[in-house]
Amino acid sequence: MKLIILDRDGVINEDSDQYIKHPDEWHPLPGSLEAIARLHQAGWTIAIASNQSGLARGLFDITALTDIHQKFRKALATLGGNVDAIFVCPHGPDDSCLCRKPLPGLFQDIGHRFDTALEGVPAIGDSLRDLQASATAGCVPWLVQTGNGLKTATKGGLPAGTRVAKDLANAVDQILSETH
């Protein structure tokens, strides 16, 4: 199985300090949906791992989150793409859960769901916590320079072996060229 794990906000769609609370606030980054469609068409299993503390903060509810993801899936389908699973951590930073990145719980759940080891699985994010969670789970961390990515790169302290790409489309181009 060719599995890839993607963060959502700042990687696939525009991020917001005010949180993405409604489908009208969800806007894909240029080329991101096309990149996911290319992965899907190349036979990859695609999973999303996303912290969504806005749920715990009461900024939106599960229905709004489902509506956001339906908008994403519909836009992706028009390009011939599909996401196999979306995993979210609904907890806040002080909830002491195991699924909130930088902890690897979401990644481990994805591995269990697809009954596969995560060693070497590319995992693309824009924040240090994305990279830390993926590296701890055994994935190959990829940092995109969209969302918080430039700020993350500037701060440094990236996990060993972190790959860097301009954006999701650039990362997918590199991954697909390395796996053919």
Which residue reads 């301009």 in tokens?
Answer: 166
The DSSP line for 109-166 is HHHHHTT---TT-EEEESSHHHHHHHHHTT-EEEEESSTTHHHHHHH--PPTT-EEES
Residue 52 contacts residue 90 (beta carbons within 8 Å):
yes
Question: What is the Cβ-side half-sphere exposure of residue 99, based on CA atoms within 13 angstroms?
Answer: 14
Look up residue 107 and give its two tokens.
Answer: 């990644």
- 7 included as an active-site residue: yes
Q: What is the DSSP letter of 29?
A: P
What is the side-by-side strand order in the sheet with 45-51? 85-89, 45-51, 3-6, 122-125, 140-144, 163-165
Residue of 9, 126, 130, 167 marked active site: 9
Amino acid residing at 120: G
* Cα–Cα distance for residue pair 58/133, rounded to 1 Å: 25
**Of 90, 72, 89, which is closest to residue 81 (Cα–Cα)?**
72
Active site residues: 7, 9
